[in-house]
Structure 1
Amino acid sequence: MSDTDSFIEEVNEEVRRDRLYGYLRKYGWIAALAIISIVAAAAYNEYRKDQETAKAQALGDAMLAALSSNDDVARAGALADVTSETEQGAAVLAFMTAGAQAEAGQTEEAVQTLQSVAGNAEVPLIYRQVASFKSLILQSNSMDAELRRAGFEALAVPGVRLRLLAEEQLALLDVEAGDTDAALERFQTIMDDAEVTSGLQRRALQAMVALGGAPQATETAEDG
């Protein structure tokens, strides 16, 4: 490379350097702001995660303390006094509270607790479906059979995780109504379903035998 070429290259490099410094002086604050925003967002996310973890731990500690009582009524009352700052936490708390209330013989209170979850659009759908299912079970001796049937039919549809459990309850309602043929058909359908668990399959088989039916051979379901 000649001296002239070398000199031109040095000049060009100097021009590029000056131009870069000019850009940095003019627009450097944008890059700095972007970096600060990224760091701040990361810090906020960590803070939020820590806060959520702390809330979950506090709720868990409060529920464990409430469950420490050996008295059913006291345990139900203690759980009812616990509060949650999140909707999902409140749903889990409601399930535990309803269970304790049911054990304490407070069926109406348990139903009300579950219905508060079933009617809350802010919690995930599966929570609302579980609450509805448990509420219907608790009202087996107080709710009209047709109303219970309508409730379980709403859960016995494709896409609902409780579908087969709802089908089982519908079969039991058929038995209650004296419609043995319908119950046997429904229990057989449950046994043949690809999503049936081994536990539910056994219950369906036992029910069919008790009703005098002749179950058709089905493949053993996986535990689930």
Structure 2
Amino acid sequence: MSNNDSFIDEVTEEVRRDRLFRVYKRYGWIGGVLILVVVVGSGVIEWRKSQAESSARGFGDGVIDALDMSSPEERRAALAGLSVSADQARLRDLILASDPTEDKAGALAALDAVIADGKTPAVWRDLAVLRRVAVAGADQPLAERRSALEAIAAPGRPYRALAAEQLAHLLIEEGKADEAIAALNTLAQDQDSSGALRARAAQVVTALGGTPVAAGNAAPAGG
């Protein structure tokens, strides 16, 4: 009985090996293809990374060269002539919008292009909105500026505190000094406010005849 069991086990094992060999012979190429895909994929990723780094260096060098130009016209022409990717184009447009004293209309148009582009990352779009309000100034109706700032002053937005500061300045523009003082004192206690922003808020509150609050106990973000 023991010999029979041993014989059956040997036959069973042989059948298993034979089946495994047939399966490997039929489907073994799949493993080779998978290995090839992994190797080629890694190569493509490294190539793309190298291309991206090269493009970023080229863009950075081009921006530096453009900003070294002697006149605003030359700087804008050099920046506009750069070969850029979609993301780099958005950043270039923000840079183009940084010289509004020389070409306010051009600066506003560049910022509008960034804001209108739905593919622009929110952090850049919010920055463009904040910059546009500052550049437009009184040329843009106060209600429109407030609406734009309120949209980026919501909790969780990257430039919430800066937008809140500008909203307080709109209150000053409207002659609502007491409301502006209250808004700036609240902002001075906000944990999202930088030291520089708190200092500015205290200076404006003092200039308005108010008393700056101590910033020791920061209010929760979004409060």
Q: What residue number does 2:100 align with?
A: 102
For 1:90-120, what per-residue CA distance to the aligned partner results, in whole angstroms no more than 9, with x for missing partners? 1111111211x425x1011011101111111
Deviation at 1:14, TM superposition (A): 5.7
Residues 133-142 or 32-41, more deviating: 32-41
Q: What residue number does 2:65 align with?
A: 65
Kept after mapping to 1: 8 A contact 2:202/2:212: yes
Kept after mapping to 2: 8 A contact 1:198/1:220: no
Q: Which amino acid aligns with 1:176?
A: E
Q: Distance in 2 between matches of 1:9 and 1:150?
A: 82
| 1:91 pairs with 2:90 | yes
- Equivalent positions of 1:9-158 (< 5 A) are 16-85=16-85, 87-99=86-98, 101-103=99-101, 105-158=102-155
CA root-mean-square deviation: 2.3
Unaligned stretches of 5+ in structure 1? none
Of residues 156, 174, 178, the one that matches 1:177 is 174
Deviation at 1:6, TM superposition (A): 9.2
Return the TM-score normalized by structure 2: 0.86
Residues 174-183 or 63-72, more deviating: 63-72
Q: What residue number does 2:215 align with?
A: 218
Q: Distance in 2 between matches of 1:168 and 1:56?
A: 34
Kept after mapping to 1: 8 A contact 2:153/2:164: yes
Q: Distance in 2 between matches of 1:84 and 1:123?
A: 14
Return the TM-score normalized by structure 1: 0.86
Q: What residue number does 2:196 align with?
A: 199
Kept after mapping to 2: 8 A contact 1:156/1:163: yes
Q: Which amino acid aligns with 2:91?
A: V
Q: Distance in 2 between matches of 1:169 and 1:220?
A: 22
For 1:141-165, what per-residue CA distance to the aligned partner results, in whole angstroms no more than 9, with x for missing partners? 3112222122212222111121111
Q: Which amino acid aligns with 1:217?
A: A
The number of residues matched between the two structures is 217
Kept after mapping to 1: 8 A contact 2:189/2:217: no
CA 1:76–1:58: 2 relative to 1, 3 Å: same
Q: Distance in 2 between matches of 1:118 and 1:197?
A: 25
Q: Which amino acid aligns with 1:91?
A: R
Identical pairs, percent: 34
Deviation at 1:187, TM superposition (A): 0.6
Q: Distance in 2 between matches of 1:111 and 1:69?
A: 22
